[in-house]
């Protein structure tokens, strides 16, 4: 895709301050705006990807629960109580 022009209005003081800040970084305002736009697009894509992943994972959990593929909370608590006890014993023994 070729280059395109993006035109918008901003306050004159903001434009002057932005241009001055860009110049202090040896950049042009256009360079910074392109960088900001790229970063914004990247963040939005990452957020959308994460949301899609999260929804897939949640649906997997819902499907498993609906199929009865669950571990009772008591079993989970017992398992991790045992692991905590083992870790405490190892710590007490100086491992």
Tens digits of residue pLDDT in 44-92:
999 999 999 999 999 999 999 999 999 999 999 999 999 999 999 999 9
Query: Is there a domain that residue 80 lies in?
Result: no
In this predicted model, which residue has the larger pLDDT, 45 or 6?
Answer: 45
> Would you say 22 and 32 are in contact if contact means Cβ atoms under 8 Å apart?
yes
Specify the pLDDT at position 14: 97
Specify the pLDDT at position 68: 94
Tens digits of residue pLDDT in 21-45:
999 999 999 999 999 999 999 999 9
Query: Is there a domain that residue 41 lies in?
Result: yes
Print the domain residue range for 29: 12-70
Query: Is there a domain that residue 56 lies in?
Result: yes
Rounded-to-integer distance, Cα 57 and Cα 28, Å:
43
Within the chain, how many helices (H) and strands (E) appear?
3, 0
CA distances to 7, 33, 70, 78 from 74, rounded to whole Å, are 62, 55, 12, 6
Specify the pLDDT at position 56: 98
Rounded-to-integer distance, Cα 44 and Cα 47, Å:
5
Query: Is there a domain that residue 17 lies in?
Result: yes
| The total number of structural domains that make up the chain | 1
Query: Is there a domain that residue 4 lies in?
Result: no
End-to-end CA distance of the chain: 61
Specify the pLDDT at position 59: 98
Query: Is there a domain that residue 30 lies in?
Result: yes
**pTM (2 decimals)?**
0.69
Query: Is there a domain that residue 89 lies in?
Result: no
Query: Is there a domain that residue 53 lies in?
Result: yes
């Amino acid at each position: 895709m070729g280059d395109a022009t993006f035109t918008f209005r901003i306050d004159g003081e903001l434009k002057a301050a932005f241009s001055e800040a860009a110049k202090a970084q040896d950049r042009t305002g256009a360079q910074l705006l392109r960088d900001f736009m790229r970063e914004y697009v990247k963040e939005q894509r990452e957020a959308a990807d994460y949301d899609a992943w999260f929804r897939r994972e949640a649906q997997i959990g819902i499907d498993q629960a609906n199929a009865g593929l669950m571990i009772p909370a008591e079993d989970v608590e017992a398992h991790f109580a045992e692991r905590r006890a083992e870790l405490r014993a190892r710590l007490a023994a100086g491992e």
